[in-house]
Amino acid sequence: MAKQAAKAAKKAPAKKAAAALVLSERQQKWFASVQAGLERDTGKTLDQWVKLAKTCPEATPRKRADWLREKYGLGVNRAAQILSAAFPDGPDWDQPDALLDQLWKEKEGRAIYEAVAKLVRKEFPEAVIGPRKTFVSFSRKIQFAAIIPAKGAKAELGLPLPLGESKRFAPMKNRPWAEKHSALLVLSSPKDVDAEVKRLLKLAWAKGA
């Protein structure tokens, strides 16, 4: 037990440093509360649950979740949290470069993302750029924009602004970002990341305070 605690203690500073780079303060607090809640409600840390999950004889996510429910009484959300840590599907949130490489496989789309990220870093030095498995978030205290690859080597930028704010806006479709963005901006090349995009990002940044 002491050896396991020491190992977890060594990982903690690295995880915390990585979190500061890709998660907003609010997001960091949420993740910390989820882990604390797991230990408080079950009497086991996430690392301890991961070790148990790896003893599961099942091979599919659904059967593993059923096993955790039947054997330990865990609900769907708790099981998903544990299984995600025990059996990661590709790079995790604290591997931003690997996530970007996995998400932006087309060089044209990656170039659009880099143009947006460059603009965000320049205009909003305090912004947190957080690559995820399915999109990249741009956060202040909360997420103020998000970008996702689109068909045809394009990119879609989601913003929490009214559709009437720009002629280039399209209505929001079903997208993976958690926060509610009401407008979608399709970017076809890095040249599309222009003064209008800068103006819109400034408006969105003000909403993310």
Of the segments 18-32, 87-101, 109-123, which one has the largest average pLDDT value? 109-123
Strands 169-171 and 183-187: antiparallel
Report whether 201 contacts 120 (CB < 8 A). Answer: yes
pLDDT value of residue 192: 98
pLDDT in tens, 173-206: 888 875 679 999 999 999 999 999 999 999 999 9
Tell whether 111 and 165 lie within a shared domain. Answer: yes
CA distances from 173 to 139, 177, 181, 189 (A): 20, 11, 9, 21
Beta-carbon contacts of residue 167 (< 8 Å; ≥ 6 apart): none
Of 86, 110, 137, the one marking the end of a domain is 86
Report whether 183 contacts 204 (CB < 8 A). Answer: no
Looking at the structure of the chain, the number of domains it has is: 2
pLDDT value of residue 25: 67
Tell whether 178 and 203 lie within a shared domain. Answer: yes
pLDDT value of residue 113: 98
* 61 is a domain residue: yes
* 198 is a domain residue: yes
Tell whether 57 and 20 lie within a shared domain. Answer: yes
Of 54, 86, 118, the one marking the end of a domain is 86
User: What mean pLDDT is predicted for residues 102-121?
Assistant: 96
- Chain mean pLDDT for the chain: 85
pLDDT value of residue 81: 82
Give the structural domain span for 124: 96-207
Tell whether 104 and 177 lie within a shared domain. Answer: yes
Tell whether 103 and 144 lie within a shared domain. Answer: yes
Tell whether 23 and 68 lie within a shared domain. Answer: yes
pLDDT higher than threshold 50 for residue 57 = yes
Contacts 24+ apart (CB under 8 A), 178-183: 178/143, 179/142, 179/143, 179/146, 181/145, 181/146, 183/158, 183/159
Tell whether 203 and 118 lie within a shared domain. Answer: yes
* 91 is a domain residue: no
Short-list 149, 181, 147, CA closest to 165: 181
pLDDT value of residue 2: 45
Stretch among 17-31, 32-46, 132-146 having the lowest mean pLDDT: 17-31
pLDDT higher than threshold 50 for residue 118 = yes
pLDDT in tens, 5-15: 444 444 545 45
CA distances from 85 to 5, 47, 171, 188 (A): 17, 9, 35, 36
Token pair listed for 31: 């993740």
Taking the C-alpha atoms of residue 206 and residue 204, their distance in angstroms, rounded to an integer, is: 5
Tell whether 110 and 180 lie within a shared domain. Answer: yes
pTM: 0.66
Stretch among 30-34, 103-107, 177-181 having the lowest mean pLDDT: 30-34
Tell whether 168 and 72 lie within a shared domain. Answer: no
Tell whether 41 and 122 lie within a shared domain. Answer: no
Of 31, 60, 86, the one marking the end of a domain is 86
The total of other beta-carbon atoms located within 10 Å of residue 183's CB is 21
Tell whether 65 and 145 lie within a shared domain. Answer: no
Tell whether 145 and 80 lie within a shared domain. Answer: no
